[in-house]
Amino acid sequence: YSKPVEQSASTGQLSLCCTVQLISAYAKILDGASNGSDSKKLRVEEAPPSRVIHIRKLPNEASEAEVIALGLPFGKVTNILTLKGKNQAFLEMGTEEAAITMVNYYTTVTPHIRNVPVFIQYSNHKELKTDASNQRTQAVLQAVSAVQSPSSDVQEILAAASSPVLRIIIDNMFYPVTLDVLQQIFSKFGTVMKIITFTKNNQFQALLQFSDPVNAQQAKLALDGQNIYNSCCTLRIDFSKLVNLNVKYNNDKSRDYTRPELPAGDGQPSLDPTVAAAFSKDSNSLLGKIPGALNPLSAAAAAAAAAGRVALAGQAGSSGVLLVSNLNEEVSNTHMNTRVYGDVQRVKILYNKKDSALIQMSDSNQAQLAMSHLNGQKMYGKIIRVTLSKHQTVALPRDGLDDQGLTKDYANSPLHRFKKPGSKNFQNIFPPSATLHLSNIPQDVTEDDLRLLFSNAGGTVKAFKFFQDRKMALIQMSTVEEAIQALIDLHNYNMGGNQHLRVSFSKSTI
């Protein structure tokens, strides 16, 4: 029986050999597949320049127009193919040079669509050939051909995208936003040449000019809808129809970075070079990564510092105490206006300078917010100046010492608006305006009653509008100064039955 055993052994060796060969072959197949995949990936990543661009990781809701917008600043877009199921798209540029410029740029600055980063590389395709029978492809082709039509919406996008000037609106501006903060944020996308800030429709706005339209396009794509600070100060960005800004003064309202010799202008504080230099080095306190947000405390301190009014956060001037000067000495309640922007804790009229006062807010954020909105406003016929004080607190007079009533303690005042964390009052903070928002109005109070009340405060009522429930209303005075005076006099006014009127500045107009 040795032969069968030998035969069996031979069969076993053959079986084992075949098994080893099979495993080896399978491993080679797997290895080859893996290498092939790697090679394919390598070929995609190292594809030679082509006028067809491959775009990956698009958000689900991305539209063809948004994909086209990525290529518009670099030249003519001649075709597009989107793969919705794979969140990918192919964009065909008019020339290979335009495609090279686009890829080179987006290699250094990650493009975003709807705040989602997308990835761009050359395609292995040299041109896009879309199926003429595919209706969707036909619709895309029509959109692409519309780029060349002067009357088309896409052409308007192209014209807008060719402007280096952005129009910026700040929504929900709880913390101050200054010209220098905008410069720090937007300069991450290119050279910022000029900035003009202003208030329109009771909203802080700015016009910002880049040196290149491509920089403006990328900044808009990355920053539109982002918050400068945590949960507030939202950027709303559009292209301006202007192609060049005319800046006459370098101050905290406007700046031409190409002409440092420009004057500050009448009544406007000029840029303090030492503060600007220190501020530019304090990169950790500003927006470091896009998208992202700042810590509110350091952000507000940095914003105030950028205005050239105070030292940087962490140094002298980062307290919650304000120094208010050039007050009308005959009016003792001018500090009431700061209540709109925070909870006043203590007030001290200076003994040897009765037109100046120290006002302690609950924290430095509130102090900086009040300073940003109130500095330079006209109150009771005088333009007030508001800065941060070197004092950390306002000291109460010692027991038994008569300070002639110059120091007041409001720590337990019922007028505080911001005691509750997350209160809706935080969302309704606006710069001084001629239009006031009234709330907590008793049901039996009429429009005539309120008009008479505000007229007796020393102003002229231009317009009035009740809300539907008649518990709230808007009232418009003839000037911002009149509105400020009315707010000071009438906020918390007893309307009867222990029901007190609430007054604040409004962003709306009548």
In order along the chain (510 residues), what is the average pLDDT of each group of 10 residues?
42 43 41 41 62 92 80 80 89 88 81 84 86 51 45 46 84 81 88 92 90 84 82 86 90 89 67 40 36 36 36 44 86 60 87 88 81 83 86 85 82 77 66 91 94 92 93 94 91 87 87
Residues forming a β-bridge with 350: 353
Structure confidence at residue 235 (pLDDT): 92
Structure confidence at residue 303 (pLDDT): 40
Tokens 């339209």 — which residue? 213
- DSSP class of residue 433? -
Q: Give the Cα separation of 282 and 169 in Å (integer).
A: 25
Side chain identity at residue 58, one-letter code: L
Token pair in block for residue 281: 């080095």
Q: How many other C-beta atoms can be found within 10 angstroms of the C-beta atom of residue 120?
A: 21
CA distances to 68, 72, 90, 174, 314 from 302, rounded to whole Å, are 37, 36, 43, 14, 10
Question: Cβ(73)–Cβ(162) under 8 Å?
Answer: yes
Structure confidence at residue 254 (pLDDT): 93
Structure confidence at residue 376 (pLDDT): 83
Peptide bond into 291 cis (omega under 30): yes
Among candidate residues 409, 414, 410, 426, the one with its CA nearest the CA of residue 499: 414
Do the bridges between strand 112-113 and strand 378-379 make them parallel or antiparallel, or are there none, so unpaired? unpaired
**In 241-267, which positions are buried (b, 16+ CB within 10 angstroms) versus exposed (e)?**
eeeebebebbbbbbbbbeeeebeeeee
Structure confidence at residue 136 (pLDDT): 52
Structure confidence at residue 464 (pLDDT): 96
Beta-sheet strands, E only, within 240-364:
254-256, 321-325, 344-350, 353-361
Structure confidence at residue 130 (pLDDT): 65
Q: Give the Cα separation of 263 and 135 in Å (integer).
A: 60
User: 3-state class of 123 per DSSP?
Assistant: coil
Structure confidence at residue 213 (pLDDT): 84
Rg (CA), the chain: 32
Tokens 């084992």 — which residue? 16
Question: Cβ(474)–Cβ(506) under 8 Å?
Answer: yes
